[in-house]
Amino acid sequence: MQPQDELSSSLGDTDEDFGWVAYFLTLKGNELFCQVDDDYIQDKFNLTGLINQVPYYEYALDLIRDIENEERHELTDELQEMVENDAEVLYGLIHARYILTNRGLHAMLEKYRHHEFGTCPRYHCNSQAVLPTGITDQKGKAPVKLYCPRCEEIYRPRSARHENIDGACFGTTFANLFFLVFPELKPQKSKDHYIPRVFGFKLHHTWHQRSLKAAKEAQLQYQQQQRIKKQQRAAMEAQELARQQGQKENNSNPAKGN
């Protein structure tokens, strides 16, 4: 057995190594994120302007950097939960900037090569690896999407837990910059596409327009027939009414008939 002091020291080192960032990255759904270097987070220049986007910025930053803050421990449970939420938001905003740096791009490169972001759901893309991307750089506007470099389209993530990840954590630049820096990884755009067939015969490219036109003509013809039937029914009812009216008049004036 290890001596008590040695065991305590070992546990302390483990807790220190496993900080907030490491814990955040182990959460389900956060596999889309890479680990931002501590040096990058320590540099205040890299965080310029973020203080205006996070209400509890100082507390959140201390939490990310694993800095003990006595004032934070004195906060109510509700406020501490808000600080933890702000820490996740702040890390996401820092992450969006970090992955545009050389170190950040290479960190995402390793995840891309291992298909950690998933693959394209499109059949003709043959399980092409995808990259996370945002459709806006503003936080809280839209969840993350997945960009396929083969068909050059974006898709919703397959996992529901990714729907809660803000697209601003990756931004609109990253996926495009990635293939500018690593052009050899960009596949040729897929020219393959699904060809609709009926009984084995390829449909003409105008099949949809022709079907719509035929359906519209059939509907107009049906409506015209219904109008004609309605007019005929109205004429027959008028004739029947006139006949009944004449018969009624004859029955009320028998002498006139003699």
User: Which residues, at least 6 apart from 250, have a Cβ–Cβ distance to it below 8 Å?
Assistant: 256, 257
Q: Are 134 and 153 in contact (CB under 8 A)?
A: no
Q: Tell me which residue has tokens 């009926």.
A: 198
5-13 long-range Cβ contacts below 8 angstroms, 24+ apart: none
DSSP structural state of residue 147: E
The per-residue pLDDT for 242 is 83
pLDDT of residue 4: 42
Give the residue carrying structure tokens 């702040």: 90
Are 90 and 61 spatial neighbours (Cβ–Cβ below 8 Å)?
yes
Which whole-number Å values give the CA distances from 25 to 30, 159, 183, in the listed order? 5, 16, 28
What type of residue sits at position 69? Answer: N
Structure tokens that stand for 65 in this block = 């950097």
pTM of the model: 0.76
Residues 6+ apart with CB under 8 A from 154: 133, 135, 145, 146, 147, 148
Going 82 to 83 to 88 to 91, the CA torsion angle's sign is positive
pLDDT tens, N- to C-terminus, the chain (258 residues): 444 444 334 434 444 457 999 999 999 889 999 999 999 999 999 999 999 999 999 999 999 998 887 776 677 778 888 999 999 999 999 999 999 999 999 999 999 999 999 999 999 999 999 999 999 999 999 999 999 999 999 999 998 889 999 999 999 999 999 999 999 999 999 888 888 889 988 888 898 898 999 999 999 999 999 999 999 998 888 888 888 887 877 777 765 544
CB 171 within 8 A of CB 202: no
Rounded to 5 degrees, what angle do the CA atoms 164, 37, 8 make?
95
Residues in the chain: 258
In this prediction, residue 256 carries a pLDDT of: 53
